[in-house]
Chain A
């Protein structure tokens, strides 16, 4: 039997996640993903007014702000049979697109990059060579030897003070870091630029949503930001979008590809088999036909046979989760009955997570950027297919390399480029629509006594579904299956692993006490466990604990 290690808590994610792996011969041979927190929002919603649901569920997470709000209003729009006006559809898409830009930028630079970039190594870089590298790789606004020298100096001050701040508690010097010092310095400089930029990108939500996190202009029937449909607001939205998109195209995507070129072996690590995308960004009232990111399912990596998605085939299994047992249930019949007694962590044969195990047609499916990009690629998407082909050519790797941690990371950058461009088109479409005299943002409706509705969405972290059942005008049942439920669930009743558990198998681990390689793959899923704040015990000063057992 191999050596078991637990990585808990996983940092640089949202929420509280524990990953346990078994290592034999320097590789991961088995893995268990455990979410350590339960909040019960689905239970809180019972008996409440369906129109209020989106306020509650949006508080599932402040990092994935907005997405639960849109999923919820879509589900209730569906239950109430409301058709929202064109402006509302456009604004909801624009806010959603803005969320993609912000989320993916922050994820790559501030949550994922340091798995690939060694900050301390950056201190020995030659600023002149770094400038030359940066010029050859990308078109950042700022560069030059003097600039990189000043970044290096700033990093040095941090490191010397012993107060690494955001860079502390990491694995600097780990043998799995492969970038030359100049690439490390370039990436660190861009980390800082991205940090500066994201504070402005976050404001996009405030323009048509009132605030960020948790913009509040969505309602059942449309949006409320009618007073914001002015030239000034739209101009500011476009300005910040363009500024962000410039960085995405000239720095983010090139950086990902530059880093990838040193880690090509990761095109064979961290892959899964099945991919599910609900798709999103409806361009007309017709769904799923008009979705900019298309809906589809790819089974067993078969890109030639992208299947239709039948929502009736979605079930959640609680056999290995801390809920009362029952057969796998579709979300309309879903139940949330947490075990009464304290959960016992029993990964080998028993229950070991608060996450339920969603399955599509009985199979475990990855969701997120890679799923979306693969579905789009398989369908010959006019924007995404060329971006993928160009990346594969630039890196001289085959399409099979997409099914990996590298592929997942590149897909995130690729779809950001596509969505960022489309976002500007949708904004211009809004302008034209308003100019034509249509200023309607809300469709009035009668609340039915009963009804069922679902909202299928593809949000930055992946496929997100909300299901609502209304009786006597109140919420009778509300279930949501979120991207990280799909990606980070435990096993199911048939002992099938979840995507992350499967992806970790075969990961090389050079030093079990510094499981950097495991973090690379776990982070590539962009987990959002969305726990309540205050899980970390303030009395213990440990922000990171690795138990080698």
Chain B
């Protein structure tokens, strides 16, 4: 074990997407909101992974699990929430919804090449508008923040990871 090695985490909760493009920033808004409302232990890392792209390799490679939150176009009504397992995530490598999703999946692929990399789950939400240059969510997505937070917490419950609501 070398000095100054990258710290390892049990769970990385990651929001991806560019907040300048309306709903595309949903994942980023989500992790900030999570951070506002909850405290997590030392083994959990919340990341605003916004536009970091493939640089995420450095952080993901040490993690056991990653829960990614992002907008995903599946054809449902805006605000519909989806859950993707690992295979489904990797299958999107050449058909990602936006560049930052593609680079996140690339980062995961690189992790697998290096070591085993984290087991990944993606919680997606159908965007209403992800191409206008405006900061801020459309109402259809803004009103789903609570539900998505609930879904993230449910994933943590399934992993036996503790969290505490801030007062």
Interface residues of A (CB under 8 A from B): 62, 154, 158, 163, 165-166, 168-169, 192, 195-196, 199-200, 202-203, 212-213, 236, 239-240, 533-536, 538, 541, 543
In the complex, the answer to whether B55 meets A165 with C-beta atoms within 8 Å is no
Q: B119: CB under 8 A from chain A? A: no
Which stretch in B25-33, B97-105, B156-164 binds the other chain?
Answer: B97-105
In the complex, the answer to whether A163 meets B58 with C-beta atoms within 8 Å is no
In the complex, the answer to whether A538 meets B98 with C-beta atoms within 8 Å is yes
17 contacting pairs across A/B (C-beta < 8 A): A62-B53, A62-B55, A165-B90, A165-B110, A166-B109, A169-B94, A196-B61, A200-B4, A212-B55, A213-B52, A239-B4, A534-B21, A534-B99, A534-B131, A538-B96, A538-B98, A541-B95
**Given A200-B6, A538-B96, also A195-B110 (CB < 8 A):** yes
Q: How far is the CB of B87 from chain A (nearest CB, A)?
A: 9
Q: B19: CB under 8 A from chain A? A: no
In the complex, the answer to whether A533 meets B99 with C-beta atoms within 8 Å is yes
In the complex, the answer to whether A192 meets B94 with C-beta atoms within 8 Å is no
In the complex, the answer to whether B114 meets A192 with C-beta atoms within 8 Å is yes
Cα-based distance from A26 to B104 in the complex (angstroms): 39
Provide the residues of chain A in CB contact with B109, threshold 8 Å. 163, 165-166
Cα-based distance from A165 to B117 in the complex (angstroms): 14
In the complex, the answer to whether B51 meets A203 with C-beta atoms within 8 Å is no
Q: How far is the CB of B164 from chain A (nearest CB, A)?
A: 28
Provide the residues of chain B in CB contact with A240, threshold 8 Å. 4
Nearest A residue to B57 via CB reads: A199
Cα-based distance from A199 to B58 in the complex (angstroms): 5
Q: B167: CB under 8 A from chain A? A: no
7 further A-B contacts with Cβ under 8 Å, apart from A192-B114, A199-B57, A533-B18, are A158-B113, A166-B110, A166-B113, A168-B94, A202-B58, A239-B4, A538-B98
Cα-based distance from A139 to B120 in the complex (angstroms): 36
**Given A199-B58, A212-B55, A538-B73, also A166-B98 (CB < 8 A):** no
Q: B1: CB under 8 A from chain A? A: no
Of A168, A196, A236, A536, which one neighbours B93 at CB under 8 angstroms?
Answer: A168
Q: B106: CB under 8 A from chain A? A: yes
In the complex, the answer to whether B51 meets A195 with C-beta atoms within 8 Å is no
Provide the residues of chain B in CB contact with A239, threshold 8 Å. 3-4
Cα-based distance from A54 to B17 in the complex (angstroms): 24
Q: How far is the CB of B49 from chain A (nearest CB, A)?
A: 13
Provide the residues of chain A in CB contact with B53, threshold 8 Å. 62
Of B4, B100, B106, B110, which one neighbours A533 at CB under 8 angstroms?
Answer: B100
Contact with A along B1-24 (1 / 0, CB 8 A): 001101000000000001001000
Provide the residues of chain A in CB contact with B100, threshold 8 Å. 533
Contact with A along B48-78 (1 / 0, CB 8 A): 0001110101100100000000000100000
Provide the residues of chain A in CB contact with B114, threshold 8 Å. 192, 195-196
In the complex, the answer to whether A163 meets B93 with C-beta atoms within 8 Å is yes
Nearest A residue to B93 via CB reads: A165
Provide the residues of chain B in CB contact with A202, threshold 8 Å. 55, 58
Q: How far is the CB of B107 from chain A (nearest CB, A)?
A: 10
Contact with A along B27-51 (1 / 0, CB 8 A): 0000000000000000000000001
Provide the residues of chain B in CB contact with A538, threshold 8 Å. 73, 96-99
**Given A166-B106, A168-B93, also A199-B113 (CB < 8 A):** no
Cα-based distance from A154 to B97 in the complex (angstroms): 28
Nearest B residue to A535 via CB reads: B99
Q: Which 3 residue pairs of A and B lie closest in terms of their CB atoms, listed nearest first?
A: A165-B109, A199-B58, A541-B95
Contact with A along B80-98 (1 / 0, CB 8 A): 0000000000110111111
Provide the residues of chain B in CB contact with A541, threshold 8 Å. 94-95
Nearest A residue to B92 via CB reads: A541
Q: How far is the CB of A546 from chain B (nearest CB, A)?
A: 16
Cα-based distance from A165 to B92 in the complex (angstroms): 10
**Given A62-B53, A203-B58, A212-B55, also A195-B93 (CB < 8 A):** no
In the complex, the answer to whether B98 meets A543 with C-beta atoms within 8 Å is no
